[in-house]
Structure 1
């Protein structure tokens, strides 16, 4: 169910994060090594990045597999950024939302991705959807579980919650409403990365003098990659990573 990655650090060409490593996200679209659910991530992809001096990220999203889009290869060669979030998608179920369903989702300074699936979608989250305003529901990018999870996170961010609080509270709320869901969430504001490991794999790599990468799986065999324990909140800057355990929601 999808693979995603985020990077913050010294400006690099996007290809150095997404394409050039031996087992990069590009290759993970057809040959992931650690994906537990699904086999091929060919139902869309997206790349979001930040330009110097502009807090609002740019995005490039498409419906088909990333390996069939030569434009993204050229873009990744030419564009440099100090903050990137990208994902390749394996849809939970078929739909007609097209590239609108592909992460990263975005609003203001934030980029967001969800790797996983909500158990019992859509009925399981109907009570949580009812807690959002009509305007928030009508603004959903797509009719997918990931888009609604993003709306719940965004609601908390707009109410003033920090990134870690917004992710952890949303995960616990959704897990309580839909037990057995896989909720690996990834969020960045261009300076920090916040993520949850909840039901699927998550790894990080901090390289002194370069930056920090957080990803569904390592993009190479560097022994410095660290796996994040399940039910954990991760908060990372270009130099540090903090891990905080998350408790199961009440029965």
Structure 2
């Protein structure tokens, strides 16, 4: 499968999150503790919004492993962002190519996924034909993850992200079961519009891939007054990760099964999630 993280809060250099933590995403590309595979070396991608504009996020992707990419190291030392995604890929069968690397982008939206549509090869054509014809030509790769994104866009991601993702999940499950797949969907998904981040944890089997969110910064300051990093970030700074970036006591909380959260200005929120009947 894959590993990913989403950051929202005080603008920081990407290096601060990607490389410096003890169990950073770069470390996870070689030594994942909670993933299906220990190594995630089938490409990577980062996507970030600048402080000047949230209209279109920037993307950088490559097909090699993240752990030895000099360009990624260079970018991380110089790019500062208030909201960014990072993803390391372990392919579930589709080609290792740049257009299959996450995150995916459409307009102001970014999307990344860990998991799989089981039996995707059986239903790829059927699911793809459900994508809005005006969006279809914008799909570049061959992954189930990108099809999921464009289905969510088709179902109204611009208007109501949780409803759009719920409808996407319902269509995938219906289609999968029509093809005899007992548990069609496995997903942890993050999607952002430049201001908010949504994160979803769901699987048809009720045994979803790992997902965690960071404890509120004001609480962490009380628990760990010696942590200098916490002095320079706002109380609204938040991380969502496939697996914790370190072992700091009290820093990480598991996202409940079949739920989704919203990171946004003001209070963050957590809700139950279920696919919409299709």
What TM-score, normalized to structure 2?
0.83
Q: CA deviation at 1:26?
A: 0.8
Which of the residues 202, 207, 217 maps onto 1:207? 217
Q: Is the 8 A contact 2:169 2:275 kept in 1?
A: no
Mapping of residues 38-117 of structure 1, within 5 Å:
38-55=37-54, 56-95=56-95, 98-117=97-116
Q: CA deviation at 1:10?
A: 0.5
Q: CA deviation at 1:248?
A: 5.8
2:179 aligned partner: none
Structure showing greater radius of gyration is 2
Q: CA deviation at 1:77?
A: 1.1
Q: Does 1:237 align with 2:236?
A: no
1:219 aligned partner: 245
2:14 aligned partner: 14
Count of residues in correspondence between the two structures: 248
Distance in 1 separating the partners of 2:72 and 2:276: 40
Mapping of residues 172-211 of structure 1, within 5 Å:
172-178=170-176, 179-198=183-202, 199-205=208-214, 206-208=216-218, 209-210=234-235, 211=237
Unaligned 5+ segments in structure 1 are none
Distance in 1 separating the partners of 2:209 and 2:86: 17
Q: CA deviation at 1:86?
A: 0.9
Instruction: Give the secondary-structure state (helix, strand or coil) at the position aligned to 1:240.
Output: coil
Residues 132 and 29 (structure 1), Cα distance of their counterparts in 2 relative to 1, 3 Å cut? same
Residue-by-residue CA offset, 1:27-49 (whole Å, 9 max, x unaligned): 111111111x2231101000011
Q: Is the 8 A contact 2:168 2:275 kept in 1?
A: no
Unaligned 5+ segments in structure 2 are 177-182, 203-207, 219-233
What TM-score, normalized to structure 1?
0.91
2:231 aligned partner: none
Q: Is the 8 A contact 2:127 2:147 kept in 1?
A: no
